[in-house]
A = this chain, B = another copy of it.
Amino acid sequence: MQALKEAQKPLGTGTPTSIFAANLDVEYVISFRYANAGQPAQTGDSSTPEEQLEKLLHTLDLAGLRTVVRDGGNGTLLIFTRIRSEKKLLGEIYRSRVRDWLHGIRPAAPEKETQLSLEKEPLTDGERLRLVYSLITLPSSEGGAGITPKQGEWNLVESVFGLHDHEFNKRWLKDWSTKWLIGPEDLRVIRDRFGEKIAFYFAFIQWYFIALSVPAAIGLFSYLFLPAYSSFFAICNCLWSVLFVEYWKRQEVDLAVQWGVRHCSTVQRKRAEFQFEAEATDPVTGEKIRYFPAYRRLMRQLIQVPFALFAASCLAAIIASVFSIEIFLVEVYNGPLKMILKFLPTVLLSIFIPIVSTIFTTFATRLTDFENYENQDSYEAALTQKIFVLNFITGYFPLFLTAFVYVPFGEILVPYLDVLNVTVQHFGHDEKYTTSDTGFQINPSRLKAQMIYFVVTAQVVGFVLETILPQVKRIVFKKAKEFDSKRKGIDMQTVMDPPEEKKFLDRVRHEAELEVYDVTVDLREMCMQFGYLTLFSPIWPVTALSFLINNLVEIRGDAAKICMEMQRPVPNRADSIGPWLHNLSFLTWLGSISSAALVYMFSSAELEGGPPKDLTLYGLLLSVLLSEHVYFGARFVASYAMSKIQSMGLETERKEKYMVRKRYLEESFGAENELIRQEDEKTGGEYTGVGVVPSAKDGRPLADGDVSETFWRSQSGWKDSVDAGVQIMDIVRGKEKKTQ
């Protein structure tokens, strides 16, 4: 931990752990491809690589960046950039902080004197890298260099990436591998290094990990002591999921405030790809605004409905048919080659599903591009939603199929699979190869087996694929390249490396080949996992427990992935886990329905997972209806309670706002008192009514000014009024006395 404490010392204190030390003060490296496999690369326009390089370097220079060029090996150049001067950096910091203030991200304006404000809130590596990155990538209209890798005029720019701080990474992994829980301190370190967006992912998975212990405990208990599909467990599980999501919402706010990024999503990162329809000049601001009518986007978005339906049904169809083939082969068919044929379905699935989903994913991306979003966040959100639909089908449909079609209706439906007999006929012209219809029994263990597959096997496989496979892939590719270039006879020896930089440059070349880390992928993984928990855990109550164990590893695995297999991620800001939040609540809602259905259907079956006994449709509907509305109620109550109980984050925010408010109010108060003082001086502090002479300013009409004046002057000062009042009382009382 000591080491980490070190690591997050602000830049201002110049600790040797600052990444920029190890990396020769390089902030970003731009990889520029001038040749593929020996052929000079094609630039977008007719210009040569040399020309584009020159343009690139010049643009960077204009944006206030220093550059050094080195050979990147096999047809690329590495352009090392850093901000030109400390003053320039300070200017950037100040401007960005002012912008934040104006967007209401920070309560108070930064000190006008930058040095001062820097001492107050030191610059983190994350903030620095973010600023420089935006300096490189923002369009020139926003004061950046407008470098958009692989696009348009910059099609030769392969990537823009920061350099890892290996010392820090080592310490980080070591530290996390030796502790159970990740504390706010650790999250802060992540945030300082890799930005809030990634920090939010770790915060989420950490909270999820902790929260899992509850359903894990309950699950284990009901697994050991309660009957299968106990409604007690289902209810607990559902309520837990509600609380989990609602409480996370609050944590998000707290963290966002703590990290000073609340509302930061309002500062939009413009998309370079945005196609504006018309460039109108805004009547109010007089600015050129790039305009794309919202209703047209809405129209385009409508396309995704048929798309989603089509994609979903396609995937569903594939899964269903493979599923029925499997059923047939495993449980009906018992002809020759059964041993081999049994594996056919698995093979089919693992061939088709990836292909089809890749196709749909690319299509979804196209569609999202077509929807033409103006800024990054809404683009990502839109894409996420589409991907989520696909994942939903591939991830959950098989279980739905088994639970709600195969088990209840299996005995009716399965016999119809005998249409496949025709194929079987070829082996032999008697019926012995298929069990007779009457003989068929649905396989009760199937549902649970499938669940276990998704919850344990798939998770482990997934983990292996995402952590080990890339390593292997990269090594193989490397070898291949080397071999290839050997064949071509080019030695990998890169040119013009100053000897003392050799080690450094090699490291950079290595990092240049790494993949770009996309945090949403990991978030999706967690979200899908959460889905199994809410939708199906009654099938296998220890689901949560297995996830608990899985995630303990997952967290460290992701950390390692970022450190070793990915380029250093650009520290983006975020004030939430974004669109996934909606998906989480969606899953809790669906969970309330599906688990109710599961419990109602299967708790009646006499052998676990077996065909349900004496079901009634209205029974099913009632239980679903009931549990859904209980869910709505619970969610309402939970969110209300959350909103009422003081949130630390909002509290601090409120107070900071208050401090600003107070300061300003005192100022204006002072001004106001001043006015009064002058006023009183003028009138000698007496109520001569001078201050109230009718005037255009005061808007008191001159017409009946005199009446009004006499009225008000009739009692000059409060003492007169008191006398008048007392007098009236006495007179009236007097009268009354008389009458009594």
Identify the A interface with B (CB < 8 A).
10-16, 18, 20-21, 24-25, 32, 34-35, 38, 40, 49-50, 53-54, 57-58, 60-61, 64, 66-71, 75, 77, 79-80, 82, 84-92, 94-95, 98-99, 102-104, 112, 114-115, 123, 282, 284-285, 287, 294-295, 297-298, 488-490, 495-496, 498, 500-501, 616-618, 621-622, 624-625, 641, 644-646, 652, 655-662, 664-665, 668-669, 671-673, 675-676, 678-679, 683, 687, 691-692, 695-701, 703-704, 707-708, 710-712, 714-715, 717-718, 721-722, 724-729, 731-733, 735-736, 739-740
Most buried by B among A664, A727, A736: A736
Closest residue of chain B to A73, judged by CB?
B732
Q: Is the CB of A699 within 8 A of B18?
A: yes
Instruction: Give CA–CA (A16, B700) in the complex, Å.
Output: 8
Which B residues are CB-close (under 8 A) to A665?
95, 98-99, 102
CB of B58 within 8 A of CB of A711, answer no
Q: Which B residue sits closest to A21, measured CB to CB?
A: B701
7 residue pairs, one from A and one from B, having the closest CB atoms: A91-B672, A85-B691, A618-B618, A61-B718, A11-B699, A621-B621, A284-B655
Asked if A724 and B24 make an inter-chain contact with CB atoms under 8 angstroms apart, the answer reads no
Complex Cα gap A68–B717 (Å): 9
Could you say which of A500, A724, A725, A728 has the most chain B C-beta atoms within 10 Å of its C-beta?
A: A725
Q: Which residues of B contact A692 (CB under 8 A)?
A: 25, 66, 85-86
Assess whether A98 is in contact with B699, with CB atoms less than 8 Å apart.
no
Chain B residues near A672: list those with CB within 8 A.
Answer: 91-92, 94-95
Q: For the complex, would chain A's binding face be called helix, strand, loop or mixed by DSSP majority?
A: helix
Nearest B-chain residue to A735, judged by Cβ: B490
Q: Is the CB of A715 within 8 A of B67?
A: yes
Which of B34, B85, B104, B711 interacts with A104 by CB under 8 Å? B104
Contact A34 B701, CB 8 Å, known A68-B721, A285-B662: no
A495 touches B731 (CB 8 A): yes
Query: How close is A401's CB to chain B, nearest CB, in angstroms?
Result: 22
| Least Cβ–Cβ distance between A402 and chain B, in angstroms | 24
A714 to B112, CA, bound (A): 36
* Closest residue on chain B to residue A102 by CB atoms: B661
A85, A618, A658 interface centre (most CB from chain B within 10 Å): A85
Most buried by B among A297, A616, A618, A641: A618
Q: How many copies does the complex hold?
A: 2
Known: A676-B88, A691-B85, A707-B24. A53 touches B725 (CB 8 A): yes
Whether the Cβ atoms of A700 and B98 lie closer than 8 Å is no
Residue numbers in B under 8 Å from A729 (CB-CB): 34-35, 49-50, 77
Q: Is there contact, CB below 8 Å, between A721 and B691?
A: no
In the complex, what's the smallest C-beta–C-beta distance from A95 to chain B, in angstroms? 5
User: What CA separation (Å) do A485 and B362 show in the bound complex?
Assistant: 90
Given contacts A10-B699, A32-B725, A90-B675, 13 further A-B contacts (CB under 8 A): A25-B700, A57-B722, A61-B717, A64-B676, A82-B712, A88-B675, A91-B672, A99-B665, A284-B652, A298-B645, A488-B739, A618-B621, A625-B625
Asked whether, in the complex, the Cβ of B57 is within 8 Å of the Cβ of A87, the reply is: no
Chain B residue numbers with a CB within 8 Å of A80 are 711
- Which residues on the B side are within 8 Å of A736 (C-beta)? 38, 488, 490
- Bound-state CA distance A695–B662 (Å) is 38
**Which of A616, A645, A732: most chain B CB closer than 10 A?**
A732
Q: What is the bound-complex CA distance between A92 and B679, given in angstroms? A: 14
Q: Cα distance A624–B628 when bound, in Å?
A: 13
B703 and A645 contacting across the interface, CB-CB below 8 Å: no
Q: Which residue of B lies closest to A679 (CB)?
A: B87
Query: Can you name the residue of chain B whose Cβ is closest to the Cβ of A297?
Result: B644
A687 to B20, CA, bound (A): 20
Considering the chains assembled together, what is the distance between the CA atoms of A616 and B115 in angstroms? 77
Q: Which of B114, B664, B699, B712 contacts A13 (CB 8 A)?
A: B699
**Pairs A–B under 8 Å by Cβ, sample size 9:** A24-B707, A53-B725, A57-B725, A79-B725, A115-B697, A284-B656, A495-B732, A618-B618, A624-B625
- Supposing A94-B671, A712-B66 touch, asked if A731 and B679 sit within 8 A by C-beta, the answer is no
Interchain CB contact (< 8 A) of A698 among B86, B298, B679: B86
Given contacts A53-B725, A711-B501, contact A718 B58 (CB under 8 A): yes
List of B residues within 8 angstroms of A711 by Cβ: 24-25, 68, 80, 501
CA of A40 to CA of B12 in the docked complex: distance in angstroms? 74
- CB within 8 Å for A714 and B646 given contacts A20-B700, A49-B729, A701-B14: no
Contact A489 B739 (CB under 8 A): yes
- A726 to chain B: which residues have CB within 8 Å? 50, 53
Would you call B704 and A21 a contact (CB within 8 A)? Answer: yes
- A695 CA / B14 CA spacing, docked (Å): 8
Residues of B within 8 A of A697 (CB): 12, 86, 115
- A160 to chain B minimum Cβ distance, whole angstroms, is 16
By CB atoms of chain B within 10 A, which of A673, A675, A733 has the most?
A675
Q: In angstroms, how far is the closest chain B Cβ from the Cβ of A434? A: 36
CA–CA, A728 to B622, complex, Å?
A: 75
Residues B68 and A20 in contact, CB atoms below 8 Å apart: no
- Closest partner residue, chain B, to A656 (CB atom): B284
Which residues of the other chain, B, contact A718 by a CB distance below 8 angstroms?
57-58, 60-61, 67
In contact, B739 and A87 (Cβ under 8 angstroms): no
